[in-house]
Amino acid sequence: PEVSVIGLGYIGLPTAAVIARSGMTVHGVDVSQTVVDTINRGEIHIEEVDLDGLVQGVVQRGLLRAGTEVRAADVFVIAVPTPFHKDDAHTPDTSYVLEAARNVAAVLKAGDTIILESTSPVGTTEAMRDMIAQARPDLKLPGMTDGIPDVSIAYCPERVLPGRILEELTNNDRSIGGITPRCARKALSFYKRFVRGTCVTTDARSAEMTKLVENAYRDVNIAFANELSIVSDAMGLDVWEVIRLANRHPRVNILTPGPGVGGHCIAVDPWFIVHGAPDQTPLIRTARGVNDSKIHHVIASAAELVEANPKARIACLGLAFKANIDDFRESPARLVAATLARRYGERVNIVEPYAMELPREFEGTGAQQIDIDTALEECDVMIVLVDHDVFKSVPLAERADKVVYDTRGIWPDQPAVAEPAVELRKAG
Ligand code: SAJ
């Protein structure tokens, strides 16, 4: 079949490339002419392990071509953003999904399959179907006809981890939710062509909720770890030790505290559930609050440490939203470091091997970007914000004399130092 992938971002482009690699012809669609031109040159506009070579290969073989207009195809995969509403902080905005569906409706023919992959509030796939029904009264749509519908519509969320997208796209299991069972089977036969993981069919609403639940589950569990770190801090306990010991229980698996939750999914998707059922979601809402407030706890603890060591040069280790990636958007580490840079200016140094230069908000603060070796030579206070492997691998001998605030627990062997730093060092 001919496939059209609408939205060529972090999910759409890798998905388009993997589908093309399996031998299907893919027409990618994006609103940005620059993105389209970049892809048609065989290049990419996002960073993801091995994606450059894959895109170059499928473009050269003529299997992937991009454009700004949706064209006729047999299968349409929609992977556009579902952000928050710009006027209303925690309300999902599905207008990009509906706009994509409107464009698909214009070229839709009997026999086609439409698959929504964007993370969406429960009911979005049906809303998309209703919109297509309005635009195309000539077509019989699933759930709206007694006979066999002309087109199939399904919701099939991705669950890939940035940094491992290509591998997880092929190997992860997938939920495939049809508006009707027949729609699910149609979508299943498409995914079977390039997914090695098990594909499980369900209805569209359950699949929508499943995606939100997966990320809310992680958010709630990270909130538990973050709350433990604040409690341990107040009680003068080492949270890393407590978690390490508790996790020896066969049925306990506490996640890792950090400076807050970043990225584009885990801090966003739980709100889609809360928005759909505000009175039934106290736990999910509170977890969001705990994770957001952890950032401010870390800023306050770091500021206290900096002020307790007035002559010291400070190194902030990491800006990325998580380990070993160069994605700095929605990053608590970046927010902490930028706040310290604004307050303490040239005393603050930033170590981020994944950044070519410092983000714009550091301009004019006096903070400098330095490498890890310079930081180890010249800085007395180290604030660990990201658990990059390059930081983890610094041996004790090179940091034994430092005052360390390790928000990620990467240096469990770091010795305690004199008050007040001793308390802060251990706070997760
Ligand atoms: N974090 C902690 N402690 C932990 C684990 C994570 O503080 O123990 C922080 C990270 O540092 C980061 C944030 O949470 O700031 C999110 O990182 P992550 O690795 O948990 O997740 P993402 O945002 O990279 O990707 C998630 C994944 N979802 C789940 O693991 C349930 C991924 O599988 C989804 O496909 C992705 O969201 C998405 O697109 O929805």
Final residue of a structural domain among 174, 197, 220:
197
Task: Residue 188: name the closest of 155, 214, 144 by CA.
Answer: 155
353 in the same domain as 268: yes
DSSP β-ladder status, 174-178 and 152-155: antiparallel
421 in the same domain as 272: yes
377 in the same domain as 296: yes
What is the pLDDT tens value at each position of the chain, 428 positions in all?
A: 999 999 999 999 999 999 999 999 999 999 999 999 999 999 999 989 999 999 999 999 999 999 999 999 999 999 999 999 988 889 999 999 999 999 999 999 999 999 999 999 999 999 999 999 999 999 999 999 999 999 999 999 999 998 899 999 999 999 999 999 999 999 999 999 999 999 999 999 999 999 999 999 999 999 999 999 999 999 999 999 999 999 999 999 999 999 999 998 999 999 999 999 999 999 999 999 999 999 999 999 999 999 999 999 999 999 999 999 889 989 999 999 999 999 999 999 999 999 999 999 999 999 999 999 999 999 999 999 999 999 999 999 999 999 999 999 999 999 876 554 445 555 55
Q: Is residue 338 part of a domain?
A: yes
ω before 420 within 30° of 0 (cis)? yes
Q: Is residue 239 part of a domain?
A: no
176 in the same domain as 283: no
Which residues approach ligand 1 with their CB closer than 6 A? 119, 158-162, 214-215, 218, 222, 255-256, 258, 261-263, 265-266, 321-322
190 in the same domain as 263: no
**Total of domains in the chain:** 2
Phi, psi of 190 (to 5 degrees): -70, -50
Q: Does the interface ipTM go beyond 0.90?
A: yes
382 in the same domain as 267: yes
391 in the same domain as 319: yes
The enclosing domain of 18 has a CATH number of 3.40.50.720
Rounded Cα gap, residues 48 and 30, in angstroms: 18
DSSP β-ladder status, 381-384 and 88-92: unpaired
Compute the distance from residue 288 Cα to the ligand 1 centre, in Å.
14
Q: What is the pLDDT of residues 393-418, one digit of tens each?
A: 999 999 999 999 999 999 999 987 65
Cβ neighbours for 404, distance < 8 A, ≥ 6 positions apart: 381, 382, 383, 384, 411, 414, 417, 425
Final residue of a structural domain among 166, 197, 228:
197
Q: Is residue 221 part of a domain?
A: no
SS3 per residue for the chain: CEEEEECCCCCHHHHHHHHHHCCCEEEEECCCHHHHHHHHCCCCCCCCCCHHHHHHHHHHCCCEEEECCCCCCCEEEECCCCCEECCEEEEECCHHHHHHHHHHHHHCCCCCEEEECCCCCCCHHHHHHHHHHHHCCCCCCCCCCCCCCCCEEEECCCCCCCCCHHHHHHHCCEEEEECCHHHHHHHHHHHCCCCCCCEEEEEHHHHHHHHHHHHHHHHHHHHHHHHHHHHHHHHCCCHHHHHHHHCCCCCCCCCCCCCCCCCCCCCCHHHHHHHHCHHHCHHHHHHHHHHHHHHHHHHHHHHHHHHHCCCCCEEEECCCCCCCCCCCCCCHHHHHHHHHHHHHHHHEEEECCCCCCCCHHHCCCCCEECCHHHHHHHCCEEEECCCCHHHHCCCHHHCCCCEEEECCCCCCCCCCCCCCHHHHHHCC
pTM of structure: 0.94
Instruction: Answer yes or no: 265 catalytic.
Output: yes
Count of other CB atoms within 10 angstroms of residue 300? 11
290 in the same domain as 184: no
Final residue of a structural domain among 197, 220, 244:
197
Q: Is residue 22 part of a domain?
A: yes
359 in the same domain as 282: yes
Residue of minimum CA distance from atom 3 in ligand 1: 256
Tokens in use for 230? 């604040």
Q: What is the pLDDT of residues 277-325, one digit of tens each?
A: 999 999 999 999 999 999 999 999 999 999 999 999 999 999 999 999 8
The single residue of 156, 199, 265, 379 carrying the catalytic annotation is 265
Q: Is residue 128 part of a domain?
A: yes
Q: Is residue 365 part of a domain?
A: yes
Q: Which residue has the tokens 């090695």?
A: 196
Q: Is residue 246 part of a domain?
A: no
265 in the same domain as 163: no
Count of other CB atoms within 10 angstroms of residue 355? 16
Rounded Cα gap, residues 188 and 397, in angstroms: 55
Residue of minimum CA distance from atom 1 in ligand 1: 261
Rounded Cα gap, residues 144 and 121, in angstroms: 21
Residue 163 CA, closest ligand 1 atom number: 24
Full residue range of the structural domain in which residue 169 is found: 2-197
The single residue of 211, 294, 322, 402 carrying the catalytic annotation is 211
Rounded Cα gap, residues 134 and 333, in angstroms: 46
347 in the same domain as 272: yes
Q: Is residue 206 part of a domain?
A: no
179 in the same domain as 293: no
Instruction: Answer yes or no: 140 catalytic.
Output: no
The residue whose CB lies within 8 Å of the most ligand 1 atoms, and thus the one to mutate among 253, 284, 322, is 322
